[in-house]
Amino acid sequence: MTSEDVAWARKYAKRLIAADGGADQALGLGWVPDAVIGDFDSVSDVAREKVGPNRLFPISEQDSTDFDKCLRNVAAPMILGLGFTGRRLDHTLAAFSTLCARANVLCLLLSEEEVIFLCPPELALDMPEGTAFSLYPMGPVQGRSTGLVWPIDGIPMQPDGRVGTSNRVDQAGRVSLTMEGPRMLVILPRGCADAAVAALNQSTRWP
């Protein structure tokens, strides 16, 4: 997570919420969190003091990740997640699982090279021809598409079977997706972050 990442997110987000030790990262980049949520096993005493006791929200249970604790306790039209991918593969995979587990929450993860989000029931994106467009199933799922070089209609997908990585946007420049269930991740180049936010804001939601 960089200061530029936070600055990009703050174009859209009114509040900066840190997940546990993410408070130290935010402070190190010059940003003071509006709140800190987590089990507090990694946030430093220095960060706690700088943030202040009224903005600390400890949740002691150990059956969920700090990312999950944030998603289930923050009410917002959309959540932009920074710093949840890249450093440790197990943490990244857990974050992807949480996107599916909290399917009713619109959330986009920003990584160093990509943006990742759970595909809503219906999604429409305007993107340049040839843009990389990957779909990764987190469980058995099917969907329909227009605007992809390789359509996904009628193809059962699952993690240990058929996946939809390395697809591309066709000459139409507009991709439309319909999903039968909340199990498909969309992975796009980082340069598509603004387009992804706009598309998610216009999309339907999972119940």
- Give the pLDDT band of residue 45 (cuts 50, 70, 90): very high
For residue 83, which of 101, 64, 70 has the smallest C-alpha distance?
70
Q: Is the distance from CB of 189 to CB of 131 less than 8 angstroms?
A: yes
Helix (H, G, I), strand (E, B) or coil at 126: strand
Q: Any idea which residue has 């992807």 for tokens?
A: 96
Instruction: Give the Cα separation of 162 and 122 in Å (integer).
Output: 21
pLDDT (average), residues 135-158: 97
Average pLDDT estimate for 12-36: 95
Compute the distance between CA of residue 112 and CA of residue 34 in angstroms, rounded to an integer: 24
pLDDT on residue 187: 98
What pLDDT, on the 0 to 100 scale, is given for residue 172?
A: 87
Residues 6+ apart with CB under 8 A from 193: 8, 108, 110, 115
* pTM for this entry: 0.94
High-pLDDT (> 90) share of the chain, %: 95
Examine the pLDDT at 86 and tell me if it is beyond 90: no
| E-strand stretches of 47-131 | 56-58, 79-82, 107-110, 114-118, 122-126
pLDDT at 142 over 90: yes
Calpha distance 182→205 (Å, rounded): 10
CA distances from 177 to 147, 199, 207 (A): 9, 11, 18
Instruction: Name the residue type at position 90.
Output: D
Segment 52-81 mean pLDDT: 94
Confidence of residue 107 (pLDDT cuts 50, 70, 90): very high
> Same CATH topology for 1-76 and 77-207?
yes
Fold assignment, 77-207: Rossmann fold (3.40.50)
Give residue limits of the domains in the chain. Answer: 1-76, 77-207
Considering the four listed CATH numbers 3.40.1190.20, 3.40.50.10240, 3.60.10.10, 1.10.10.350, the one that applies to the domain covering 1-76 is 3.40.50.10240
What per-residue confidence (pLDDT) applies to 152? Answer: 97
pLDDT top residue among 86 and 156: 156
Is the pLDDT at 1 greater than 90, yes or no?
Answer: no
pLDDT tier, 87 (very low <50, low <70, confident <90, very high otherwise): confident
How large is the average pLDDT for residues 44-58? 95
What Rg, from alpha-carbon coordinates, does the chain have?
18
Q: Is the Cβ–Cβ distance between 174 and 147 less than 8 Å? A: yes
pLDDT digits over 181-201, tens only? 999 999 999 999 999 999 999
Query: How does the average pLDDT of the chain come out, rounded?
Result: 95
